[in-house]
Structure 1
């Protein structure tokens, strides 16, 4: 019970940090749209460049860290000389990150050419942005290295709260841009050829400075946990050979996944020009929609999965198969409760949500983004289950076992996106790619769960399926209520941000209340298990 309560408190703490960060992330996106727009050449150019360090981090470091660092650190702190091992791992990580960041920054034109296909002026602007943004790779990696050590030590909060600092810095920088150069609605900033060096430096510099701050704020938190890092060199006898094997297979799987994403990115960058319209979903619209898609995933799935991962790693190390199965089943079921509800509500409230998130965008751009949100959100429950399956594979340090699944998912994404380009008008390419990605998550979740059945002697499949069926039954009336309330409010209120915000709060709140009430009627016990630590924290705060 103590372990369960600890995980619950850890997940609640992380969820609170993630919630604040995501709210600020939405504000950051709103200010960025005010500065450079949601569609158009400049918005798409910056999106490609600013996405590169995130993609490269995920490819070269992020997945590798998730696959090896927590399991390795958990094992290290169970034996003598554990801190020495962690020091060697951190030193190696910092050196590799620095070297890779330098090489890839020099290769910025090549990378932009891989991920985008656009007019020359837009490609040139994206390359200039990339020189500023790619160095973020080192600081994203440092943030992940230090944060995962904190998680392995049971300190979950700082890792999830650090992005708040990042968002605050970026919001200030983007806001200064609007004050100095004007907003996207009143200037010709959307055209790539009009950009000056000062404009590039302010937008891209603010974005990069935020990532630097996100990494640096973890250093004091690390010291408070008693981790006194100092550089240590030499790999012999450190046990990193096994970690290197896991890292290699993780890298292979991520490369495979990126092949599918490259097809999507190039299709998105080409869509506005092929359609002959500026207010057509491109890379910037894709990112805005993905931000909405990731909000419920980040609030629940990431927070809970991160808290459970340490437990899974310890259970896997102790050969506690029954424990791993119970933890996995619990995670999938609790995540499913929220992802099913989020899917139902966002399907009917996509447009008002986008109007709030992109309050400064024009109506045509908001329409384009809302359609992409709806296409993406249908895959959210499968995405949550797939994420939990990945954590089990990583807990067993079996990144190799994921590769065939990742190949199948990449084939679905790449092949489906090419099919969408062949049969659909260009204005629907990004939405079509969103649907294809949703299908790939279903393929990944089903295949991974099937493979885990043998290793875990079952995955508690009957219980997981029953939970999701009851969640869908509860979500249907919730979505209906949300749609009816949104329709009535739309008739009663004038158009504008206030109406959209009111619809989101009232319709979303009533839909959520109906969902929770239906779960109570259906006696879904997982709801109590998730709400218990949250209610305990609220009662403690009142005292």
Structure 2
């Protein structure tokens, strides 16, 4: 566990700064363009390149590319360097072509993910998409560079590079807001020049992020030379494995398409309670997941892949069990605190510029529902890595198909049964129920694959963590109640709620868990104390 903890700590530090600057960026975005019509148009345009990237490359990095690179590093006489050059060449050429095609097809892509929009809103979204879609090429090349760095156990740069992206975007949004003020959120007042600043600025951040990763890769000894002898890249084997991953991502994107269209439709009826609210809440939901779980997953997958390659199933079980418990040690209290303090978080971040307190509170209500999903969602992602470490990308497809069916069914019920104001909260609840069910199914199948996942140890650990976290949540709830009774909800009172309630809650949890001798929490406390004592 100590090796995973150290590697995860390095990545978590970078991810923490990345997420904090990301929240500043998100807050500036909301302040500049709001969460009504222009906000929805931007968020849909911004999501499309990541949808395409998720389908084309991001989804196969952990499941196919990382295990394949590690395998070639062990088997090739040159340590897999030529193969890495082939992969980088393929990514650069193919993703550039995809980016060009996406720009040409921006209008039908926007039409696919919107519902009930008028001509002006569609035109604005298409214009923004044409400026944003070129980032596909840069983001994809950076992702391949990050994957190669991870296989060399260099985790810092991939976690710190997004910070530069966020800083660039923050500067762009500050300039945009200073230029336009309240008019910056008005769909009818923004000009083509204003949209160019917003769209090109978004792409500029990704370009900067890509350059950082490419330079870091060069510094660890990688020398890029275009190689078009792709027959030697093992693309056939990777393609057969990746085909199932493409299917998995495609199935998930069907669910995302339904969620986006339903939330976009709700936003047309109730401005501020649509796609932007869902996206902003989901970003906050991913904060603890991105800082803690992604760091552990990134450090864990190469180790599990090596253990599978060497036939050491005991090591696989141990890596997974320790990973789940390490992630849950902080995810459990984070989920409960999000359920209590969600509106306080969003009011502090979003009640500025072209946003109102009521709009910020609504995002917080959606975040509270997402808090329920934090632990099952994180465990589900860890479970997928068990299959990927075996090179099995087929089983996750069937699990993902089941998730998508459940998610779509529940989302449609929420859209039909709930008033428009509550549709997005219903979509968040559908997400939560989906991952609770999906985690149960994935656990059963993964446990059969490795002949047990130390389930009793994990359940015991989680039970003790929840016992330690409940007093923390109650303490935060008490602070919330006292603050609401003595002051109106605004940015200042929200800051007090977070500082007193969130701070007291986390300290209380760490103290109780440490006294209960929960080893994962004790390890974290010991590591932090050691750093502070230096």
Question: Shorter-normalised TM-score: what interval?
Answer: over 0.9
1:347 aligned to 2:347?
no
Aligned counterpart in structure 1 of residue 405 of structure 2, from 396, 408, 411: 411
The aligned counterpart of 1:204 is 199
The 3-state SS of whatever aligns with 2:221 is: coil
Q: CA deviation at 1:362?
A: 0.2
1:488 aligned to 2:482?
yes
The aligned counterpart of 1:318 is 310
Q: CA deviation at 1:34?
A: 1.6
CA deviations on 1:274-322 (whole Å, 9 max, x unpaired) are 3xx323x111111110111000101100011111111111112112111
In the alignment, the residues of structure 2 paired with residue 26 and residue 283 of structure 1 have an alpha-carbon distance, to the nearest angstrom, of 18
The aligned counterpart of 1:104 is 102
The aligned counterpart of 1:115 is 113
Alpha-carbon spacing, 1:448–1:511, altered in 2? closer, same or farther (3 Å) = same
Aligned counterpart in structure 2 of residue 309 of structure 1, from 301, 305, 308: 301
In the alignment, the residues of structure 2 paired with residue 272 and residue 309 of structure 1 have an alpha-carbon distance, to the nearest angstrom, of 39
Provide structure 1 residue ranges, at least 5 long, that are not aligned to the other structure: none
Say whether the 8 Å CA contact 2:336–2:469 is kept in structure 1.
yes
The aligned counterpart of 1:264 is 259
1:124 aligned to 2:97?
no
Q: CA deviation at 1:492?
A: 4.1
Q: CA deviation at 1:230?
A: 1.5
Alpha-carbon spacing, 1:487–1:438, altered in 2? closer, same or farther (3 Å) = same
Aligned counterpart in structure 1 of residue 44 of structure 2, from 43, 48, 51: 48
The 3-state SS of whatever aligns with 1:233 is: coil
Alignment of 1:54-69 (within 5 A): 54-69=50-65
The 3-state SS of whatever aligns with 1:78 is: helix
Say whether the 8 Å CA contact 1:519–1:527 is kept in structure 2.
yes
How many residue pairs align between the two structures? 529
The aligned counterpart of 1:232 is 227
The aligned counterpart of 2:324 is 332
In the alignment, the residues of structure 2 paired with residue 114 and residue 476 of structure 1 have an alpha-carbon distance, to the nearest angstrom, of 43
CA deviations on 1:227-278 (whole Å, 9 max, x unpaired) are 222211123243332211121110101100111111110011111323xx32
What stretches of structure 1 move > 6 A for 4+ residues in a row?
none
CA root-mean-square deviation: 1.5
In the superposition, the TM-score normalised over structure 2's length comes to 0.96
In the alignment, the residues of structure 1 paired with residue 294 and residue 529 of structure 2 have an alpha-carbon distance, to the nearest angstrom, of 20
Aligned counterpart in structure 2 of residue 213 of structure 1, from 208, 222, 230: 208
Alpha-carbon spacing, 1:89–1:534, altered in 2? closer, same or farther (3 Å) = farther
Q: CA deviation at 1:197?
A: 0.7
Provide structure 2 residue ranges, at least 5 long, that are not aligned to the other structure: none
In the alignment, the residues of structure 1 paired with residue 490 and residue 358 of structure 2 have an alpha-carbon distance, to the nearest angstrom, of 14
Q: CA deviation at 1:535?
A: 4.0
Identify the range of structure 1 (329-338 vs 294-303) with the bigger mean alpha-carbon deviation: 329-338
Aligned counterpart in structure 1 of residue 5 of structure 2, from 1, 4, 8: 8
The 3-state SS of whatever aligns with 2:224 is: coil
The aligned counterpart of 1:178 is 177
Alpha-carbon spacing, 1:341–1:41, altered in 2? closer, same or farther (3 Å) = same
Q: CA deviation at 1:359?
A: 3.0
Aligned counterpart in structure 1 of residue 349 of structure 2, from 349, 357, 378: 357
Identify the range of structure 1 (467-476 vs 167-176) with the bigger mean alpha-carbon deviation: 467-476
Alpha-carbon spacing, 1:303–1:413, altered in 2? closer, same or farther (3 Å) = same
In the alignment, the residues of structure 2 paired with residue 398 and residue 135 of structure 1 have an alpha-carbon distance, to the nearest angstrom, of 32
Aligned counterpart in structure 1 of residue 249 of structure 2, from 217, 240, 254: 254
Say whether the 8 Å CA contact 1:12–1:534 is kept in structure 2.
no
In the alignment, the residues of structure 1 paired with residue 387 and residue 94 of structure 2 have an alpha-carbon distance, to the nearest angstrom, of 25
Identify the range of structure 1 (388-397 vs 172-181) with the bigger mean alpha-carbon deviation: 388-397
In the alignment, the residues of structure 1 paired with residue 253 and residue 300 of structure 2 have an alpha-carbon distance, to the nearest angstrom, of 27
In the alignment, the residues of structure 1 paired with residue 529 and residue 214 of structure 2 have an alpha-carbon distance, to the nearest angstrom, of 31
The aligned counterpart of 1:435 is 429
In the alignment, the residues of structure 1 paired with residue 527 and residue 295 of structure 2 have an alpha-carbon distance, to the nearest angstrom, of 14
The aligned counterpart of 1:518 is 512
The 3-state SS of whatever aligns with 2:74 is: coil
The aligned counterpart of 2:499 is 505
Alignment of 1:380-399 (within 5 A): 380-399=374-393
The 3-state SS of whatever aligns with 2:188 is: helix
CA deviations on 1:456-482 (whole Å, 9 max, x unpaired) are 110111111111111121221111001
The aligned counterpart of 1:278 is 271
The aligned counterpart of 2:18 is 21
The aligned counterpart of 2:521 is 527
In the alignment, the residues of structure 2 paired with residue 93 and residue 71 of structure 1 have an alpha-carbon distance, to the nearest angstrom, of 17
In the alignment, the residues of structure 1 paired with residue 169 and residue 243 of structure 2 have an alpha-carbon distance, to the nearest angstrom, of 34
In the alignment, the residues of structure 2 paired with residue 74 and residue 484 of structure 1 have an alpha-carbon distance, to the nearest angstrom, of 51
In the superposition, the TM-score normalised over structure 1's length comes to 0.95
Alpha-carbon spacing, 1:97–1:533, altered in 2? closer, same or farther (3 Å) = farther
The aligned counterpart of 2:86 is 88
Q: CA deviation at 1:46?
A: 0.3
CA deviations on 1:400-444 (whole Å, 9 max, x unpaired) are 111110001001111111111111111111110000011111122
Aligned counterpart in structure 1 of residue 418 of structure 2, from 414, 418, 424: 424
Say whether the 8 Å CA contact 2:268–2:274 is kept in structure 1.
no
In the alignment, the residues of structure 2 paired with residue 535 and residue 311 of structure 1 have an alpha-carbon distance, to the nearest angstrom, of 27
In the alignment, the residues of structure 2 paired with residue 317 and residue 305 of structure 1 have an alpha-carbon distance, to the nearest angstrom, of 18
